[in-house]
Amino acid sequence: MSALATRHTDWPEKFAVAAVIAAIVVLFDYGGIISAIALSLCGFMGWTRMFEQVRAQGKPTLSGKGRVIVASLLALVGVLAIPSEAKDASPATTATGKDATSSVIASGNQTTEEPKRSNVNVAEGRKLERQNRVKIDSLLADLKSLKERDYETRLAFWSDIVALAPANGEYARKRLEMAKKVESLDALRENPEQGAVVEKVRGRKEGFGNVLVVDITLRNDALSNLKDFQITCESKGHSGTVIDSNTTVLYEVVDARSTRTFRKVSMGLLHSQTASTHCTVDQAAIA
């Protein structure tokens, strides 16, 4: 017995220690209870001195060959019982590149994992929003003081707000809307004169009923001041057919990102059968 107690650990016992460690890893990392039990029993088969003590007491026990067979079967059961999510996810965590990751997601094996991560992110985002509530309210209040078409500044504000409340879908949606408006300004940076738009117009007949006079509101969406607006008003009869067209140049200035209303703008002679009028800006110049 003393000789058994003092001898060094042999390779089956080292294998037993490795099997037990593997069982612990499988249990805590992947939740594979059956696999962990099988690997633990497999490791037990390698604990040589335990079997030698039992044999020394004259009790029946497995032979060395029998323990190898049983250990092999238990190892096979342990590997096969590892949860499929763990086995399928392992290639994606190695250096196999983007294809491995995408194939795992496409196969649906991570559908049980993704919602968990998503829920954690949402919970953390909401907690962060509560912590930053005072800052968020301050930014929202400052937003109200900005000009409606000051898109770049508004986008910066919404970006700051989203950073303080990353789980708030409404804030993210408003930031995206503002980003699209800023993107739409790219064309106006190259051609500012295209930023002139007729926002509202009201026409009426004056003189002897044959002169078209309009009150027209022009909006300048460009980043530059615009001037000298060529305006065309098409007249339609009761049938909806365009029966006349009047064009004039309004020698005025509209500042960038602003609107201005001009009253009693004479468009010239009007067709006697005119029932409605629609006006547009054909061109403008940079002031």
Return the structure tokens found at 241: 């057919």
Return the structure tokens found at 208: 């002897």
Domain count, the chain: 3
* Cut 0.75: pTM above it: no
Residues 216 and 274 in one domain: yes
pLDDT at 205: 86
DSSP track, 149-192: T-HHHHHHHHHHHHHH-TT-HHHHHHHHHHHHHHHHTHHHHH-G
- CA dihedral 165→171→175→178, nearest 10 degrees, is -150
Q: Please report whether residue 225 resides in a domain.
A: yes
Residues 48 and 19 in one domain: yes
Residues 27 and 73 in one domain: yes
pLDDT at 37: 79
pLDDT at 134: 92
Residues 199 and 276 in one domain: yes
The pLDDT tens digits of the residues spanning 132-149 come to 999 999 999 999 888 877
Residues 210 and 146 in one domain: no
Residues 213 and 177 in one domain: no
How many Cα neighbours within 13 Å face the side chain of 229? 29
pLDDT at 59: 75
Q: Please report whether residue 222 resides in a domain.
A: yes
The percentage of residues in the chain with a pLDDT greater than 90, rounded to a whole number, is 32
Domain that residue 65 falls in: 2-81
Q: Please report whether residue 86 resides in a domain.
A: no
Count CB atoms within 10 A of the CB of residue 174: 18
Q: Please report whether residue 96 resides in a domain.
A: no
Residues 28 and 44 in one domain: yes
| End residue of a domain, out of 155, 184, 213 | 184
Residues 179 and 228 in one domain: no
Q: CA 34, CA 29: separation in Å to the nearest integer?
A: 14
| End residue of a domain, out of 167, 184, 201 | 184
Say if residues 23 and 39 touch (Cβ distance below 8 Å): yes
Q: Please report whether residue 38 resides in a domain.
A: yes
Residues 225 and 256 in one domain: yes
Residues 223 and 275 in one domain: yes
Residues 171 and 204 in one domain: no
The pLDDT tens digits of the residues spanning 209-235 come to 789 999 999 999 888 899 999 999 999
Q: Please report whether residue 135 resides in a domain.
A: yes
Listed as ranges, residues in the chain with pLDDT below 50 are 1-7, 85-118, 120
Residues 145 and 226 in one domain: no
